[in-house]
Structure 1
Amino acid sequence: MATDTTAVDEWEIPESYTVTARVAEHAQSFGDRAAVYFRDATGAQRERTYADLRDDMYRFANGLAELGVEKDDRVMHLFPRHPDAFAIQLGALATGALLVPCSSMLRANDIEFRATDCDATTIVVHESLTDMVEPVLSETPIERVIVLDGDDAALADEHGEAGESDVHWTSVRAVLADQPTDYDGPDLGAADPMSINYTSGTTGKPKPVLHKHRWMYCFNRINAPHWWNIDDETELADELLWATTGTGWAKWFWSPVGVGLTTGATQLIYDGEFEPETFLEILETEGVTKLCAVPTQYRMLANADLDAYDVRVRDALSAGEPLNREPMERIEDAWGVTPRDGYGQTETVALVSNYPGIDVKPGSMGKPTPDVGATIIDVDDEAEVEAGEIGEIAVPVGSPAIFDGYYEKPHLDEQKLSGEFYRTGDLARQDEDGYFFFEGRADDIIISSGYRIGPFEVEDALVSHDAVAEAAVVGSPHEERGSVVKAYVILADGYEGTVELTDELQAFMKAETAPYKYPRRIEFTDELPKTSSGKIRRIELREQEQAQHG
């Protein structure tokens, strides 16, 4: 299978390119254009123009600098979709600091690990999430906590100027107060570090993926035209983008930041739980023209009364896992638009996509995105496989579409970036027409509702319960979620596999791991299939689940 990667060498990333500079340029060119329409679950709405974003970006940057944040410092953030999310992120980037996004689905020990691993000195956290941060502060290098929507009087009363751990607490409001809307910060360019996005930890501890500011140019060059269908001919005044992702995921940088802000588009941010009728009402009343959601959301939307809403979506994008035929056909019948799947990772841009101009094949992630160089290679060497053969999705290490290494982890760089290709760890096959079809993870990853879940973390947490002697975790097919976590459990002596114990184990796991990782299905067994060397043969368990639930 020959793949033309020559176009990769034609990339020329402007040396001065940063997303902060792009926002400032947009504010200069069309400052009164809405950058963000924000809506929350109560129906409250707020708007931010590009001039607002620029001004708040510089105000927050000045406030951070006053607190002592400097170039190359690591600034973590932990907050929901919020009207001030962009201002906080952009302000931190303007100082030359590296953003370290965190999801509210994490636990306190996850925050401790990330802060310690990258030596973060600052965290911006929503007031509703401070309980995730406060218990581990003394074990981290964090020097300052900035609370979004925090009450200054309450913070002063509880923490004073500095608590016992010498951590300074303040609020976003206080950081912004009385700051000027111009900023004389460091000169930054495409080659400067921008963010540390941690992986899901599928094969051990989460890995710190380093991206430089050039990452934003790559999204503008690749994701915008080849996924969002936005190019120089697009009339952005007629478009409203909505990506349903949260601020702590790499997908937030894929779309709201990497496409929305770099192109100068207007986008909707909704802070509320997914509910099909609510989402359909928002699509209708707000006039969303481009939607990016996960397959689970599309499946649930497809089961709702689509014909009851006047939806004017012109591009529907899907990512996280393959989207099956039924919801695609239902949405196409109702909206006249076929959802287009795309594939990438925390480490990359959209490597494979059903980009505009090609037919969508149900079940396919699409074709290699132009100018990227994605291909499929043998799992044991670097030779490309033939059409129809299963191999590993890979990208030439010289492609600008991949990350810049792992933050201060040269041994990981050596493992992943020293050969001819960066291996994604995802298995696929390519048909005769050039379409890629996902075949699973080389490392047994479970994809549930778009979340990537590694079995080892779940198993380790399970066996820490007194009732569990041994456990094996695999994905189990599920109509709406694609897959759910299924745990095969060998009980310790003295325990019985009752409904009550199942409930207890599930409650235990929700406290030990992110909620989406807990096993929704548990089966008690006397033995697990193993190789002669004692390794669990998860393939047998997956086949068993496929036979039962597929």
Structure 2
Amino acid sequence: MSMDHDTIVEEFEWDIPESYTVTSTIDDHAEAFGNRVAVRFLDEDDRREERTYADLRDDMNRFAKGLEELGVERGDRVMHLFPRHPDAFAIQLGALTAGALLVPCSSMLRAKDIEFRANDCNATTIVVHESLTDMVEPIVDETPLERIIVLDGDDVDDEQWSTFQSVADGQSTEYDGPELGAEDPMSINYTSGTTGQPKPVLHKHRWMYCFNRVNAPYWWGVDEDTDLEDELLWATTGTGWAKWFWSPVGVGLTTGATQLIYDGEFEPETFLEILEDEGVTKLCAVPTQYRMFANADLERYDVQLNDTLSAGEPLNREPIERIQDAWGVTPRDGYGQTETVALVTNYPGIDVKPGSMGKPTPGVGATIIEMNEEEEVEPGEIGEIAVPVDSPAIFDGYYEKPELDEQKLSGDYYRTGDLASRDEDGYFFFEGRADDIIISSGYRIGPFEVEDALVSHDAVAEAAAVDSPHEERGSIVKAYIVLAEGYEAGDDLKDELQEFMKNETAPYKYPRRIEFVEELPKTSSGKIRRIELREQEQEKHS
């Protein structure tokens, strides 16, 4: 599939059906091709299961009926905390068709995080896998939670605790639930947050329609001309992240594709074997996984990939080139947030520029504006990525947080907090978070360009660039570096890296200070917490 960007932007029109929900879409799929496999599940213990679209419809209706009998009502908040699982969609879709709002939680959180979310959104129900109940048991009495439903759990004789099986088993596959539409609330996805408490991002059902219209064709390469019988999609994300809604739900389920779900720890060789053995055709992974793939013997694997997608943070040049050389496919970045759909992508057929986020997706209106004004910046200038507040492709505010809505949605634009520049061809380049920008001797330096250049050196596995106070220059670039195997920290290596950087970037951007570390501080979703590193620098040099 090849597209002309200007043409698709000019011709794109929103036509969101008032009655649209992802659950009604599953009903439609079950009627049209109920025997098509929706989920192919496997795990590291060789468990293998499948669910067809007819299975998903029946399972969601049974669970919805069971929730209703437990007392779950329209508008109630239902949290979920479970790993990738063959019944994940049944639980999510069942809660939605009952009219509840989903509140996804990641297994990487802690009990205090679950407690915060339950209290913040006043959740009354949680579905938790039996392996994760120790995150819930200590905090139940400190929250509004009335019902704890255990997935893969043993039957219990308790009014508050039950199992997924006991709730769903024996229920009718016919369910006449509340009448829902595109403008009804669907989910509360908490931001991972690099500063402050996570924020409750509210989305309506139309979010899934927007994914179908934007993420599917203009990132995944799935449109009405795609023969889904020949495709197998695999997004490596977990069920607790917004990315699960971006791809497995928002693309996989809404398009009617067959998708792979694998529950197991990431091991490059294992994942590569799965790609080959299962015949995956479209892969969406995070940059860290692609970087680790790039260090493997990729030519050993006979893969059938026609698309490789990356999200979460910018993907460096080295893995892009390595995968392109080995498999003949070019990883394509997509950029967006918990609050949005894909705002900028390397859409199918684009000439991928190394380090570029791509171009704005149609219908969304993403642009780059001045930091303190609502004026678009000129090509080459750094500004903040922003979206018009009336775009249907962004969130509907923060759940019961009018003060946050006032801060973020009262102007003409929703400001993402992410900085970028645009070249003369319209390509966006990520420059960092708004609070990550480094100003040295009047120069504005985006940390990603520094980090991207550093990790292209064989000695560097990971890097984070932050501003470090300096008497003369105000700030200078400081690099925290995790070394690759086989390299030792020392002054000679610092000198080598600094000379290398002077040739890779503009001279004023090279890191005048370098510190070698064992690991970088990260959020639960794997994003570098540069704020911690900046605070360290402030303490050292204040």
Common topology (TM > 0.5): yes
Alignment of 1:517-536 (within 5 A): 530=538
Q: Deviations over 1:359-409 (max 9, x none)?
A: 100101111112211100000110100000000000111111110111011
Alignment of 1:162-311 (within 5 A): 162=159, 168-311=160-303
Measured after TM superposition, the shift of residue 47 of structure 1 is: 0.4
DSSP 3-state at the match of 1:227: helix
Q: Share of identical aligned residues, percent?
A: 74
Match in the other structure for 1:23? 26
Aligned-partner Cα distance in 2 for 1:47–1:10: 36
Alignment of 1:333-372 (within 5 A): 333-372=325-364
Aligned-partner Cα distance in 2 for 1:161–1:304: 50
Provide the alpha-carbon RMSD of the alignment. Answer: 3.0
Measured after TM superposition, the shift of residue 221 of structure 1 is: 0.4
Alignment of 1:438-453 (within 5 A): 438-444=430-436
DSSP 3-state at the match of 1:25: helix
Answer yes or no: is 1:161 the counterpart of 2:164.
no
TM-score under structure 1 length normalisation: 0.80
Q: Deviations over 1:263-286 (max 9, x none)?
A: 000000000011111011100010
Give every structure 1 segment of 4 or more consecutive aligned residues whose post-TM-superposition deviation is greater than 2 Å: 3-10, 443-449, 474-480, 513-520, 527-530
Match in the other structure for 1:40? 43
Aligned-partner Cα distance in 2 for 1:207–1:222: 25
Instruction: From the superposition, tell whether residues 419 and 9 of structure 1 become closer, same or farther in structure 2 (CA, over 3 Å).
Output: farther
DSSP 3-state at the match of 2:356: coil
Measured after TM superposition, the shift of residue 514 of structure 1 is: 4.9
One-letter identity of the residue aligned with 1:441 = R
One-letter identity of the residue aligned with 2:322 = R
Aligned-partner Cα distance in 1 for 2:281–2:527: 33
Instruction: From the superposition, tell whether residues 125 and 7 of structure 1 become closer, same or farther in structure 2 (CA, over 3 Å).
Output: farther
Aligned-partner Cα distance in 2 for 1:177–1:324: 48
Asked whether the 8 Å contact 1:5–1:371 carries over to 2, the reply is: no
Match in the other structure for 1:142? 145
Match for 2:92 among 89, 94, 101?
A: 89
DSSP 3-state at the match of 1:69: coil
One-letter identity of the residue aligned with 2:406 = E
Measured after TM superposition, the shift of residue 161 of structure 1 is: 1.8
One-letter identity of the residue aligned with 2:338 = T
Instruction: From the superposition, tell whether residues 36 and 131 of structure 1 become closer, same or farther in structure 2 (CA, over 3 Å).
Output: same
Match in the other structure for 1:132? 135
DSSP 3-state at the match of 2:404: helix
Measured after TM superposition, the shift of residue 476 of structure 1 is: 3.2
Aligned-partner Cα distance in 2 for 1:126–1:212: 26
Aligned-partner Cα distance in 2 for 1:254–1:514: 18
Measured after TM superposition, the shift of residue 516 of structure 1 is: 5.7
Match in the other structure for 1:393? 385
Asked whether the 8 Å contact 1:202–1:443 carries over to 2, the reply is: no
One-letter identity of the residue aligned with 1:28 = E
Q: Deviations over 1:180-222 (max 9, x none)?
A: 1010100000000000000112231111000000000000000
Structure 2 regions of 5+ residues with no counterpart? 1-5, 438-446, 453-463, 466-477, 485-516
Q: Which stretch shows the higher mean deviation, 263-272 or 201-210?
A: 201-210
Match in the other structure for 2:78? 75
Match for 2:366 among 346, 369, 374?
A: 374
Instruction: From the superposition, tell whether residues 26 and 441 of structure 1 become closer, same or farther in structure 2 (CA, over 3 Å).
Output: same
Instruction: From the superposition, tell whether residues 290 and 183 of structure 1 become closer, same or farther in structure 2 (CA, over 3 Å).
Output: same
Aligned residues: 470
Answer yes or no: is 1:55 the counterpart of 2:58.
yes
Aligned-partner Cα distance in 1 for 2:8–2:75: 33
Aligned-partner Cα distance in 1 for 2:25–2:433: 37
Asked whether the 8 Å contact 2:12–2:362 carries over to 1, the reply is: no
